[in-house]
């Protein structure tokens, strides 16, 4: 794909994303309006909504195209990813700003929703960001920012009230309190799962590295856990925990039972173990014995060996495992709503039950944003703590 | 001086790696420990900086028992090049070399100055290599950085475990030559481990030959080559032992005086020549060829009898006797002229003389 003559190069994946991005504003429906919550939605073109916005989006897409032609240079590739990632955010802003006007013109119960064109822009943005990340393989800081910038922008937009007239935000407004409490719960379950996963998984990795007798059963166990589907693991834990909580009332008082947060937390901790244990193990294997001996031989103390050699080499790899575990936990926590653990999954399952798409999105969109946010943030962190010399080794070995 | 007194090392699994070794390693000299793989060279070396502690016996440095010194302090005063180099992969060349100065809390400016000095010393251009990472270096460059790192805080003692092990033979000879130059300049007390006999002979002042944890012979390089104590040492030195000895002697030492002929002057000079031939120089004393005395005929000009010499047929005073011999065999002559930097004639070395050396030692 890389063109050795001159700076121009064709990044096929970016071109694909940009092509989709060009289609999105001319698509028959950028947003849609329906007279009531259940009536047939009528598609509206972007140019109909606002000519200025249409021109601005097309022009920015052109700019992205130009950046993409120079995507062998890190900075321009980064800029391509940033404009590509912000374009759908701009699309939402336009939709939100015009929603009030459109709804008024349609009727008192009118609902305005994003439509195929806008969703295409989201897809395109995703592809472009992904293409940019691929060319920035060894710059974790830029990679992290590529994800964080659009995620923070869209979150700010959602919280700003500019989108208040969009249908999904009406759903949000109706459930504001509940939304924030479930969101907080979701975060807590994830943080708990990854936190405990790290507290258990890192030592497991360390001991596995020290002795082959520990390594075999540990990896047999964590690998096995990973093969059990999420819902099944939740289910499997219900019976024994229900039994325990009946047998020991203390547990019941603590809120530990067959359903609720306890089985969810246990399952999620178990899921976090594999990536964290495996990466800790791999990170320690990545420290050459010679390197440690050289340090000792030149008169480093145990502490100096730990802080100047072992941790700098292994930390980025351990963090890569934490990243995988965290992204996974954000998604799996949504599933945990099935056994009454709460969290954003509550809206998804409620919405599915009532066939209310907006409600499903109220749960699903924040889950996606949260997963992306966690991903970007940890990548950024890895980029900051990684010494240049071990960069190429930090990629997760899934 | 480093003194090993009855040092024995038995590992936890009962392997007897070093067996009652006593050595006196003189200061400011390069001592080579050599022997086949697994004979205990690395183990011996690592006991000197206390990475391994001996099962019995003691080691004294300048009369002080090292087990009474703080291990970290001891190590910071001993340069160490480990087998396989062991550069820190996450640090730049600069950071790698600055390890010990940093541990000793040197001032930034002093470290900086020293870094540039060291890189120059090992033949790496500071502006090019300072910020490179170990993985961006070739094997030979990494070895140089390893040596620079060991020399960083200017330690009086340097331990080197096969420092030039992992490079191709050509690069290795180049590194060895540079190292000889560095050692001439610095005169460190160096303990150098290798299993390459040619390397040992090229570098060593003294050689200790090890086998199965024991030191079989410990002598100056010349003495070991001239009179190996037993069959193992004899065989280890190789069947070209005589040639190896010649490789340690320079032409300089065995050059014979000989009066050259000035081609521009008259033929009367020939009367004084007792040999069958004579070296010929121009008016500035620069060597140009030789003249067969029997070719002489009255009235003939000397330049008409001159046989010119190619550069391959002249030796510099620094060449080794082994090289001289090789050149003689190549050109099929019994003697070759020795010249200085400006091609000025200095003397000659003959096959006869070389035989005398090899016979008498
Ligand atoms: N940590 C250890 N535990 C047990 N035995 C060891 C250990 N280290 C070395 N040995 C054994 O001690 C003996 C001497 O090893 P040493 O590393 O000193 O050899 P060496 O002469 O440096 O060999 P090489 O040229 O291959 O580097 C060998 O038989 C080796 O197997
Ligand atoms: Mg060794």
Name the residue range of residue A43's domain: 2-162
Does residue A77 lie within any of the structural domains? yes
Does residue A132 lie within any of the structural domains? yes
Q: Three-class SS string for B276-314?
A: CEEEEECCCCEEEEEEEHHHCCCCCCHHHHEEECCHHHC
φ, ψ (nearest 5 deg) of residue B67: -70, -10
Whether residues A299 and B103 touch (CB distance < 8 A) is answered with yes
The verdict on the CB of residue B153 being under 6 Å from ligand 1 is: no
Residue A137 shares a structural domain with residue A279: no
Does residue A169 lie within any of the structural domains? no
The CATH number for A293's domain is 1.10.3720.10
Does residue A62 lie within any of the structural domains? yes
List of chain B residues whose C-beta atoms are within 8 Å of the C-beta of residue A300: 72, 99, 103
Q: Report the alpha-carbon distance of residue A120 to residue A28 in Å, rounded.
A: 12
Going by pLDDT thresholds of 50, 70 and 90, the confidence category of residue A396 is: very low
pLDDT for the residue A6: 46
A vs B, Cβ pairs < 8 A, gives 71
The verdict on the CB of residue B37 being under 6 Å from ligand 1 is: yes
The torsion region of residue B38 among left (phi > 0), alpha (psi -120 to 50) and beta comes to left
Structurally, chain A folds into a number of domains equal to 2
pLDDT for the residue A103: 83
**Number of helices and strands in chain A (H, E):** 17, 3
Q: What is the pLDDT of residues B141-199, one digit of tens each?
A: 999 999 999 999 999 999 999 998 878 888 888 889 888 988 998 999 999 999 899 89
pLDDT for the residue A8: 59
Does residue A168 lie within any of the structural domains? no
Does residue A170 lie within any of the structural domains? no
Examine the pLDDT at B271 and tell me if it is beyond 80. no
Q: Got the DSSP string for A212-252?
A: HHHHHHHHHHHHHHHHS-HHHHHHHHHHHHHHHHHH-HHHH
Does residue A171 lie within any of the structural domains? no
Residue A181 shares a structural domain with residue A104: no
Give the lowest-confidence range in A68-82, B143-157, B198-212.
Answer: A68-82
Does residue A167 lie within any of the structural domains? no
Give the lowest-confidence range in A2-16, A24-38, A342-356, B146-160.
Answer: A2-16
Neighbours of ion ligand 2 (CB under 5 A): B 42, 83
Q: Is the pTM of this model over 0.80?
A: no
pLDDT for the residue B361: 57
- A182 with A342: CB under 8 angstroms? yes
Helix (H, G, I), strand (E, B) or coil at A70: coil
Residue A149 shares a structural domain with residue A217: no
CA pseudo-torsion sign B192, B195, B201, B207: positive
Full set of structural domains in chain B with CATH: 2-245 (3.40.50.300), 252-360 (3.10.580.10)
B277 vs A388 pLDDT, higher one? B277
**Number of helices and strands in chain B (H, E):** 16, 17
Residue A109 shares a structural domain with residue A201: no
The torsion region of residue A185 among left (phi > 0), alpha (psi -120 to 50) and beta comes to alpha
Residues from B contacting A (CB-CB < 8 Å) are 46, 49, 51, 71-76, 80, 82-92, 99-100, 103, 133-135, 149
Residue A200 shares a structural domain with residue A344: yes
- The tokens for B257 are 């005086």
pLDDT for the residue A22: 93
- Which of A90, A99, A71, A94 is CA-nearest to residue A150? A90
How close is the Cα of B77 to the center of ligand 1, in Å? 25
Q: How far lies B187's CA from each of A252, B31, B117, B175, B182, in Å? A: 78, 12, 17, 17, 8
Task: List all residues 6 or more positions away from A221 whose beta carbon is below 8 Å from its beta carbon.
Answer: none
Q: What is the pLDDT of residues A216-242, one digit of tens each?
A: 999 999 888 888 887 777 778 778 878
Residue A34 shares a structural domain with residue A130: yes
Residue A234 shares a structural domain with residue A360: yes
What does the mean pLDDT of chain B come to? Answer: 90
pLDDT for the residue A295: 94
Of A128, A162, A196, the last residue of a domain is A162
Q: What is the pLDDT of residues A85-94, one digit of tens each?
A: 999 999 999 9
Residue A139 shares a structural domain with residue A265: no
Q: How far lies B340's CA from each of A194, A278, B322, in Å? A: 76, 67, 18
- A322 with A194: CB under 8 angstroms? yes
Whether residues B74 and A299 touch (CB distance < 8 A) is answered with yes
pLDDT for the residue A389: 64
Examine the pLDDT at A107 and tell me if it is beyond 90. no
Residue A143 shares a structural domain with residue A214: no
Q: What is the pLDDT of residues B122-147, one digit of tens each?
A: 889 999 999 999 999 998 899 999 99
Whether residues A313 and B99 touch (CB distance < 8 A) is answered with no
Whether this model's ipTM surpasses 0.90 comes out as: no
Q: Report the alpha-carbon distance of residue B126 to residue B138 in Å, rounded.
A: 16
Residue A156 shares a structural domain with residue A181: no
- B247 with B336: CB under 8 angstroms? no
Q: What is the pLDDT of residues B297-337, one digit of tens each?
A: 777 777 778 888 888 888 988 888 988 999 999 888 889 99
Residue A213 shares a structural domain with residue A158: no
- Which of A199, A200, A209 is CA-nearest to residue A314? A209
Residue A109 shares a structural domain with residue A216: no
Beta strands in A23-165 (DSSP E): 31-34, 42-44, 111-114
How close is the Cα of A62 to the center of ligand 2, in Å? 63
- Which of B248, B264, B335, B274 is CA-nearest to residue B306? B264
Q: What is the pLDDT of residues A356-366, one digit of tens each?
A: 888 898 999 99
The CATH number for A121's domain is 1.20.140
- Which of A381, A252, A266 is CA-nearest to residue A319? A381
Alpha helices in chain B (DSSP H): 41-48, 71-76, 93-97, 99-103, 108-121, 126-129, 139-151, 169-186, 197-203, 221-226, 231-237, 241-247, 251-254, 302-305, 321-331, 351-360
Nearest CA to ligand 1 atom 2: B11
Of A162, A191, A216, the last residue of a domain is A162
Of A162, A191, A206, the last residue of a domain is A162
Q: What is the pLDDT of residues B31-42, one digit of tens each?
A: 999 999 999 999
């Amino acid at each position: 794909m890389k063109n050795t003559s001159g700076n121009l190069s064709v990044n096929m994946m970016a071109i694909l994303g940009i092509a989709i991005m060009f289609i999105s504003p001319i698509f028959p429906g950028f947003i849609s309006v329906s007279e009531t919550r259940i009536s047939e939605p009528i598609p509206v073109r972007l140019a109909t909504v606002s000519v200025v916005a249409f021109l601005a989006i097309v022009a920015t897409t052109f700019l992205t195209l130009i950046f993409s032609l120079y995507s062998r240079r890190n900075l321009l590739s980064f800029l391509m990813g940033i404009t590509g990632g912000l374009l759908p955010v701009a699309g939402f802003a336009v939709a939100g700003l015009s929603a009030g006007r459109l709804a008024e013109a349609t009727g008192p119960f009118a609902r305005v929703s994003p439509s195929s064109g806008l969703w295409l822009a989201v897809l395109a943005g995703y592809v472009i960001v992904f293409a940019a990340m691929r060319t920035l393989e060894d710059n974790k800081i830029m990679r992290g920012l590529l994800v964080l910038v659009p995620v923070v922008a869209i979150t700010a937009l959602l919280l700003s009230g500019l989108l208040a007239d969009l249908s999904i935000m009406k759903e949000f407004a109706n459930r504001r309190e509940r939304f924030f409490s479930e969101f907080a719960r979701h975060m807590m379950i994830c943080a708990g799962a990854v936190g405990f996963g790290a507290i258990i998984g890192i030592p497991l990795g360390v001991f596995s590295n020290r002795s082959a007798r520990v390594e075999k059963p540990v990896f047999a166990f964590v690998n096995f856990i990973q093969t059990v589907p999420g819902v099944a693991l939740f289910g499997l834990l219900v019976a024994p925990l229900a039994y325990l909580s009946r047998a020991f009332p203390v547990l019941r008082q603590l809120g530990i039972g067959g359903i609720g947060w306890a089985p969810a937390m246990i399952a999620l901790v178990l899921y976090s173990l594999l990536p964290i244990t495996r990466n800790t193990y791999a990170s320690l294997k990545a420290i050459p014995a010679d390197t440690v001996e050289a340090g000792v031989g030149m008169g480093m103390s145990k502490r100096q060996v730990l802080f100047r050699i072992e941790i700098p080499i292994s930390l980025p790899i351990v963090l890569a495992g934490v990243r995988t575990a965290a992204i996974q936990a954000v998604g799996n926590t949504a599933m945990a709503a099935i056994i009454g653990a709460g969290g954003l999954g509550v809206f998804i399952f409620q919405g599915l039950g009532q066939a209310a798409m907006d409600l499903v999105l109220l749960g699903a969109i924040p889950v996606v944003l949260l997963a992306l946010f966690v991903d970007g943030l940890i990548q950024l962190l890895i980029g900051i703590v990684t010494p240049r010399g071990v960069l190429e080794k930090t990629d997760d070995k899934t | 001086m480093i003194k090993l007194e009855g040092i024995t090392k038995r590992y936890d699994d009962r392997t007897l790696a070093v067996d009652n070794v006593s050595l006196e390693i003189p200061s400011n000299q390069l001592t080579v420990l050599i022997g086949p793989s697994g004979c205990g060279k690395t183990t011996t070396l690592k006991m000197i900086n206390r990475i391994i502690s001996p099962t019995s016996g003691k080691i004294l440095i300048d009369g002080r028992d090292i087990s009474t010194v703080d291990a970290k302090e001891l190590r910071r005063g001993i340069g160490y090049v480990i087998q396989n180099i062991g550069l820190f992969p996450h640090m730049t060349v600069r950071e790698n070399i600055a390890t010990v100065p940093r541990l000793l809390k040197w001032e930034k400016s002093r470290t900086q100055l020293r870094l540039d000095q060291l890189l120059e010393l090992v033949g790496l251009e500071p502006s090019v290599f300072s910020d490179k990472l170990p993985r961006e270096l070739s094997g030979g460059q990494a070895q140089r950085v390893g040596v620079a790192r060991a020399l960083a805080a200017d330690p009086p003692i340097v331990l080197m475990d096969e420092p030039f092990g992992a490079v191709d033979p050509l690069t290795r000879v180049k590194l060895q030559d540079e190292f000889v130059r560095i050692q001439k300049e610095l005169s460190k007390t160096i303990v150098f481990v290798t299993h390459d006999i040619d390397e040992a002979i090229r570098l060593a002042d003294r050689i200790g030959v090890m086998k199965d944890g024991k030191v079989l012979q410990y002598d100056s390089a010349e003495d070991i080559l001239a009179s190996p104590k037993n069959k193992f040492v004899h065989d280890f030195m190789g069947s070209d032992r005589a040639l190896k000895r010649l490789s340690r002697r320079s032409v300089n030492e065995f050059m014979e005086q000989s009066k050259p002929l000035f081609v521009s002057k008259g033929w009367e000079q020939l009367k004084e020549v007792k040999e069958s031939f004579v070296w010929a120089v121009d008016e500035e004393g620069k060597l140009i060829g030789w003249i067969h005395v029997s070719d002489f005929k009255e009235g003939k000009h000397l330049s008409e009898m001159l046989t010119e010499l190619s550069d391959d047929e002249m030796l510099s005073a620094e060449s080794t006797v082994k090289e001289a011999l090789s050149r003689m065999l190549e050109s099929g002559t019994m003697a070759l002229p020795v010249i200085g930097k400006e091609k000025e004639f200095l003397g000659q070395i003959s096959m006869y003389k070389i035989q005398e050396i090899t016979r008498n030692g």
